[in-house]
Structure formats: structure tokens, C-alpha cells
Amino acid sequence: MRVVVDYDLCESNALCMVAAPEVFEVRDDDFLYVLQDEPGEELRGKVEEAVRRCPKQAITIEG
């Protein structure tokens, strides 16, 4: 599974960080940092939740 963020869409709402803190972090500069581009399968549920909860539909999963 590969996590792709469209940074043109991302507005750092930080919902992804709540859903999958292992993968997404919005720091105090209010930019989103993807901590793991290819998280393990055990995180799939959380990453899918992050995709759904993103208000900008800025996250996609490949594979």
C-alpha cells in the first residue's frame, strides 16, 4: 500500500492525523508530513479511515 497526498488539495485539516497518527502528522508549521509512504498492511484500516475523513479528498491509496 502506497499513500499519496495531493498537496495542492491538502489544507492541513489534520483529520488524517487523528485517524492514522502512525502515518500522518500535521506539525506546528501547519504542514502535513507523511511519516511512512508505504505503511504496513496492519495500518490499512486506519489509512482508509484517514482517506474518508479528509475534507479535501486529498489522500489516495495505491495498491
Partner 1 sequence: MQLERVVIVGASLAGFRAAEELRTRGHTGTITIVGDEPHRPYDRPPLSKQVLTGAKPPESTELHLALGSVDDLGLDWRLGESATGLDLAGRTVLLGGGERLPYDGLVIATGASPRRLPGTDHLDGVHTLRSLDDSMAIRAALAAGPRRVAVVGAGFIGAEVAASARSLGLEVSLIEALPVPLERGLGPQMGAVVADLHRHHGVDVHLAVGVVLIEGGDRVERIRLTDGSVLDVDLVVIGIGVSPNTEWLEGSGLTLDNGVVCDASCRAAPAVVAAGDVARWPNERFDEVMRVEHWDNAIAMGGHAARTLLGDAIPYTPVPWFWSDQYDRKIQLAGRAAADDVVEIVSGSVEERRFVAFYGREGRLVGVLGMSQPAKVMRWRRLIEEGASWEAALAMAAATA
Binding site for partner 1 (CB under 8 A): 11-15, 17-18, 26-30, 48-49, 51-53, 55, 57, 61
**Least distance between partner 1 and beta carbon 16 (Å):** 9
**Residue 5 one-letter amino acid:** V
Question: How deeply is 19 buried, as exposed, middle or buried, from its count of CB atoms within 10 A (0-12, 13-18, 19+)?
Answer: buried
Q: How far is the CB of 4 from partner 1 (least distance, A)?
A: 12
Q: CB of 7: closest distance to partner 1 in angstroms?
A: 15
Which helix (H) or strand (E) segment is 32 a member of?
A: strand 32-34
